[in-house]
Structure 1
Amino acid sequence: MASSAALPPIPPTIGSITASQLVGSLLNFYLFGVLSVQVYVYHACFPKDKASIKYLVYLIFLFMALSTCLNAADAYFWYASGFGNLIQFSKAHISPFYTPIGGSIIASVIQMFFCYRIWIIKKSAVYLSIAIAIISLIQAIGGLGGGIKAYVAANQDHDELRTVLMWLIGDACADVMIAGAMTVLLTQASRENHRQTNDLVKRIVRLIIETNALSASVAIISLILFAGVPGTNYFICPTMILPGIYANTLLVTFNNRAFAAGGGNLTQQTPSFADNYPRPIPPMTFATNPTSVNILRTTHKVSDADIGLNRLERGSSSDKPHYDDSTWNLNG
């Protein structure tokens, strides 16, 4: 470390210089805590899910745990051992591995998962799924490129405009397309069905729009700060929390089945991103509703990592999404 005589003086704007990484780090720790609760809820409520879905959830959790540890090491490097040292603070250290690189990888994996769900719901939407997947790969390439260049340059400036644009614009576009496609397909599936089905689909559509809108909004805010306020590092904070938002989005979608499986018993509890995000959903047992069709007694019987529309996703011979009462008969 350089001697104190060689260090530049601390400017009066030190707060605006250091706040972005500090706030981003604190939010990252919070989001990892929320994710830990969500993973526990998933493990407790849905032990019968497919092995591939379980691997996805646990691998994402391990990846986020590693990213959080790297973020903690950076926070120590910037604010403890490098306290008052602007030269040390200006170094990227290991942040590119969990911000552009890790964030783009997590985003791409989760976006690919939703592409698969779109294709399962409606086979003829394969070209739309491919288009979203291509955009997701482009943003991943942009994030990887930006992270590698930032690490090699060993600074926080991220001065490669092209890679940053590929990453953030690709993130936002893919999320908007996923929300739009899922909303249209699920809304089509609810037409001409009974009221309980329509209420369920409305709750699912609301959750999908909220979760994807949040991640897209954070990416857009990062892009606006990057392009609209040049010469500052304000955009770093929202980019730091993108991986945590994507990981929690996936777990919120999975855990929402605990509400969806409740049928008429939970019609007064309209789940939303705000409802699911900060509070865990404990394992719960539902009593039989005599006015509905063979309602699920326990969430442990759900075997497909979806939101209660297993029969819907299988499609039909006419390649149109459909739903029937047997979807709820999950004990058979």
Structure 2
Amino acid sequence: MASNGLPPSPPALPPIPPNIGSITASQLIGSLLNFYLFGVLSVQVYVYRTCFPQDKTSIKAMVYSLFLFMALSTCLNAADAYFWYAAGYGNLIQFSQAHISPFYTPIGGSIVASVIQLFFAYRIWIIKKSALPLSIVIAVVSIIQAIGGMGGGIKAYVAANQDHDELRTVLVYMWLIGDAVADLMIAATMTVLLTRASMNSQRQSNDIVKRIVRLIIETNALSASVALIGLILFAGVPGTNYFVCPTQILPGIYANTLLVTFNNRAFANNGRNLSQQAASFAEPNYPRPIAPMTFAPNPNRVLVTTQKVTDMDTSDISLNRLERGPSSDKPLSAWND
């Protein structure tokens, strides 16, 4: 029986393996990309606040709540990075702990994805009422992926917050497969609806719809591709944590997808107006697009409005409107309903 009064020595740490880079790179790269995506989101939120102060309160509440949630998630990610790479430098036992990462991935990530996917499902129903069954299918898939993500994250906490491999359950498959399927369905449905709405339309309004279709395809295809990459790494490379990086950045991609979609309304009528704006950006009174393009629930009608305000004379306001459909119809906004 030892009685020297000294505290017991800590257990010896496992030696650092030669492949330490491949073990630690996924979380590090994912964290760095998360910080980058939050910076982009901050700019997007500023643009949204500047350009669209007239949006409905519910839409603005969703945008700002999403921003605050992503700010909290980024702070938690920074705390994890400190836990893994600073306080736990060289400690593989500490690095193997999930710590608080399940909160922002996959719990927070699945919630953010579900909110945005449900929003797009509602937009699809607003654009075309007969697409309600498809909107319901998208909503169900979105809820299933949210259940999978939240279940996987809760399991990590319940399992004594140990190794990241504790997340390798059917819940993770529900989460990642549901993400990809919902995004692909949204991209395909919106493309079909908007393309049909642009048929037999004026050339300029048709170009606007094509821009929107391209944006929807690009943004939803990006999030679906990242989810599929995470799924492939998760299922195809067992015993590694390579899947952490793509799954870690999914919430930031989804949040930026929503804000890019909103802010694109300010530049939908690109052509002449945007070329004039680009030419005058160096001037102190450059134009600010503050009136967005709006879709009416009737897909045969497109309304584009841009408003120009100068710093020199705030009373000098000019409106350029591109409108198709009966002039007696009251303009409605599919984004603000």
- Per the normalisation by structure 1, the TM-score is 0.84
Residues 139 and 166 in structure 1, CA contact (< 8 A), matched pair in contact too: yes
Distance (Å, rounded) in 1 between the aligned partners of 2:303 and 2:260: 25
In the TM superposition, what are the counterparts of 1:123-272 in structure 2 within 5 Å?
123-153=129-159, 154=161, 155-262=163-270, 264-266=272-274
Secondary structure in 1 aligned to 2:87?
Answer: coil
Alignment gaps of 5+ in structure 1: 270-282, 286-297, 303-307, 316-320
Q: Which position in structure 1 is the counterpart of 2:315?
A: none
Are 1:322 and 2:300 counterparts?
Answer: yes
Q: Cα deviations across residues 126-170 of structure 1 (Å, max 9, x unaligned)?
A: 000000000000000000000011122212113432101100000
Q: Distance in 2 between matches of 1:284 and 1:171?
A: 40
- 1:284–1:299 Cα contact (<8 Å) kept: no
Deviation per residue, 1:168-203 (Å, 9 max, x gap): 000000000000000000000000011001100110
Aligned-partner Cα distance in 2 for 1:198–1:267: 19
Q: Which runs of 5 or more residues in structure 2 are unaligned?
A: 1-7, 278-284, 306-320, 324-330, 332-337
| Structure number having the greater strand percentage | 2
Q: Which residue of 1 aligns with 2:289?
A: 299
**Cross-structure match for 2:295:** 310
Deviation of 1:257 after TM superposition, in Å, equals 1.1
Match of 1:276 in 2: none
CA RMSD of aligned residues (A): 2.3
Q: SS of the residue aligned with 2:164?
A: coil
Q: 1:130 to 1:253 in 2, by over 3 A?
A: same
More helix by share: 1
Q: Rate the CA distance shift 1:189–1:267 in 2: closer, same or farther, 3 A.
A: farther
Number of aligned residues: 294
- In structure 1, what is the Cα distance between the partners aligned to 2:103 and 2:204? 46
Computing the radius of gyration from Cα coordinates, the structure with the larger value is: 2
**Cα gap change, 1:189 to 1:219, in 2 (>3 Å):** same
Aligned-pair CA distance for 1:329:
6.1
Please list every run of at least 4 consecutive aligned residues from structure 1 whose deviation after the TM superposition is greater than 3 angstroms: 2-5, 261-264, 266-269, 324-330
Show CA shifts across 1:67-92 (max 9, x none). Answer: 00000000000011111111111001
Higher relative contact order (CA 8 A, sep 6+): 1
Deviation of 1:300 after TM superposition, in Å, equals: 2.8
Matched, 1:23 2:29: yes
Matched, 1:89 2:95: yes
The structural deviation recorded for 1:266 is: 3.5
Does residue 122 of structure 2 align to residue 116 of structure 1?
yes
- Cα deviation, residue 261, structure 1: 4.0
SS at match of 1:309: strand
> What secondary structure does 1:299 align onto?
coil
Taking structure 2 as the reference length, what is the TM-score of the superposition?
0.82
